[in-house]
Amino acid sequence: MTVPGKDRSMELQKEMLAGHYRRLEAAPEAGEPVVYTFVPGNLTELIRSFDALPVLPEINALQSAMRGRSQGFIAEAERAGHSEDVCSYVKCDVGMLKAGNIGPTGTRLPKPDLLLLSYTGCYTFMKWFELLREEYRCPTVFLHVPYQGDGRQTPEQRAYVASQIRKELIPALEKVTGQRYDEERLRESLHRSAQAEDDLVAVLQSARLEPSPIDAYFGAVYYVGPIFSAFRGTPEGAAYYRALRQEVEERAAQRLGPMTPSGRLDSQKYRLVVEGPPNWTHFREFWRMFSDEGAVVVASTYSKVGGTYDFGFRHDASDPLGTMADYCSGCYTNLSLPERVSMLVRYAREYRADGFLIHSVKSCNSFSAGQLTILREVEKRTGIPGGFLESDLVDARYFSPANLKNRLESYFQMLDARRARSET
Partner 1 sequence: MNCFVGIDLGSTTTKAVVLDERGETLGRGITNSRSNYDLAAELARTEAFVSARFALLEREVAQAAGPAVLARLLKAFRLEQTLAQLARLRARIEEEGARAVPQDRRAPLSRTLASVFEKMLSEEEERFDDPAPCERSDFFRDAAGSAFARIARDLADPRGISFELLAGLYDKCIVKVENEPLELGFREHIGRALERVGDRSLEVAVDRAVEAPLEVAASVGTGYGRARLPFPKEQIRSEILCHGLGAHALFPGTRTVLDIGGQDTKAIQVDPQGIVTSFQMNDRCAAGCGRYLGYIADEMNMGLHELAPLALSSRRPVRITSTCTVFAGAELRERLSLGEKREDILAGLHRAVILRALSLLARSGGIEDEFTFTGGVARNAAAVSALRALVAENYGQRRLNISPDSIYTGALGAALFARRAAA
Which residues of this protein are in contact with partner 1, per CB under 8 A? 372, 376, 379, 385-386, 388, 390, 398, 400, 402-403, 406-407, 409-410, 413-414, 417-418, 421
What span, in angstroms and rounded, lies between the C-alpha atoms of 254 and 251? 5
CB of 76 to partner 1, least distance (A): 23
User: What backbone torsions phi and psi does residue 20 show, to the nearest 5 degrees?
Assistant: -65, -40
**In the complex with partner 1, which residue's Cβ is closer, 146 or 370?**
370
CB of 302 to partner 1, least distance (A): 20
Burial of 124 (0-12, 13-18, 19+ CB in 10 A): middle
What span, in angstroms and rounded, lies between the C-alpha atoms of 333 and 331? 6
**In the complex with partner 1, which residue's Cβ is closer, 247 or 390?**
390
The torsion of the CA quartet 398, 399, 403, 409, rounded to 10 degrees, works out to 140
What span, in angstroms and rounded, lies between the C-alpha atoms of 361 and 41? 21
**In the complex with partner 1, which residue's Cβ is closer, 159 or 372?**
372
**Other beta carbons less than 10 A from residue 132's beta carbon:** 21
CA distances to 165, 197, 201, 232 from 319, in Å: 13, 17, 21, 17
CB of 379 to partner 1, least distance (A): 8
CB of 309 to partner 1, least distance (A): 32
Amino acid at 2: T
CB of 403 to partner 1, least distance (A): 5
**Other beta carbons less than 10 A from residue 106's beta carbon:** 12
**In the complex with partner 1, which residue's Cβ is closer, 103 or 386?**
386
CB of 368 to partner 1, least distance (A): 13
**Other beta carbons less than 10 A from residue 1's beta carbon:** 6
Contact residues for 316 (Cβ-Cβ < 8 A; gap 6+): 190, 194, 322, 323
CB of 408 to partner 1, least distance (A): 9
**In the complex with partner 1, which residue's Cβ is closer, 252 or 389?**
389
What span, in angstroms and rounded, lies between the C-alpha atoms of 282 and 286? 6
**In the complex with partner 1, which residue's Cβ is closer, 253 or 420?**
420
**In the complex with partner 1, which residue's Cβ is closer, 163 or 410?**
410
**Other beta carbons less than 10 A from residue 85's beta carbon:** 8
**In the complex with partner 1, which residue's Cβ is closer, 2 or 410?**
410
CB of 355 to partner 1, least distance (A): 12
